[in-house]
Amino acid sequence: MLDKIIKVNNESEKELTFEIGSNSDLILENTITGNLVWTIQNFIARTEKGNLTFPTKFDMVDPILNLEHQGRIIVRVSVNPQEIIRKVELGTSPLKNRVEAINKLKEANYKVGILIAPIVLVDNWKEEYQTLIEYLAENLSEKVKKECFFEIIFMTYSYIHNAINTEAFPNNPVLYDKEKMTGRGRGKYTYKKEIREEAESFLRELMQKHFPNNEIKYIV
């Protein structure tokens, strides 16, 4: 796959960015395989332009901090309120550790994005997400706050994913809420339009207050 990416990249007249983390969390996987280190090293050695990007919910970034990346690797760290991480994102790194990882990555001159995702509208979601954004504003380094971008993604509920997660984690909370959600294709549900719009407006106001100079690439 990397050979194909490099071929397409080198033949393109445009500056391309390749998403390489769609199928697994590469920071976690790297602790077992070392594949992420290998991928970054080979991409940089065999190309003179273009970028690789991937998301992660984990904090084990030390193996990539000292790599020669030329500012062409974009790491997007996903964050959520700690209570949602604890109850829903089982086995992933705590919020505190993720924020520390973001600061480390920026100190190593990586391009860094922050995903607030998936947004789960629990009963006290306003308090939870206000606390999260305030925590980010207080604990991200000045260098991060100067240069990072954000992506904000609302949860999409899927009966298929729920069946898998229920079998693996039977004590997990049920995320489907028939009062707040509506159908979107077979077996998939999203938040109702009016609820989604209220949440987006609330989050935009918080981001404008605490991160007025940072780009929000999208809210979906």
Q: What is the pLDDT of residues 66-98, one digit of tens each?
A: 999 999 999 999 999 999 999 999 999 999 999
Distances in whole angstroms, Cα of residue 186 to Cα of each of 154, 157, 190: 18, 11, 12
**Per the domain annotation, does 190 fall within a domain?**
yes
Strand order in the sheet with 157-158: 157-158, 188-191, 181-183
pLDDT at 7 over 90: yes
Whether residue 130 is predicted with pLDDT greater than 80 in this model: the reply is: yes
Q: Is the pLDDT of residue 168 over 70?
A: no
In a domain, 18, yes or no: no
> What's at 35, amino acid-wise?
N
CB-facing half-sphere around the CA of 105: CA atoms within 13 A: 31
pTM (predicted TM-score): 0.94
Question: Which CATH number belongs to the domain containing residue 202 in this structure?
Answer: 3.80.30.30
Cβ-Cβ contacts under 8 Å for 99 (sequence gap 6 or more)? 79, 135, 136, 139, 140
pLDDT greater than 70 at residue 204: yes
Residue 187's domain comprises: 62-219
**Over the stretch 95-113, which tens digit does the pLDDT of each residue have?**
999 999 999 999 999 999 9
Amino acid 104: pLDDT: 98
Q: How many domains does the chain have?
A: 1
Q: Is residue 46 part of a domain?
A: no
3-state DSSP assignment of residue 127: helix
Q: Does residue 189 form part of some domain?
A: yes
- Residue 112 CA to residue 150 CA, distance in Å, equals 9
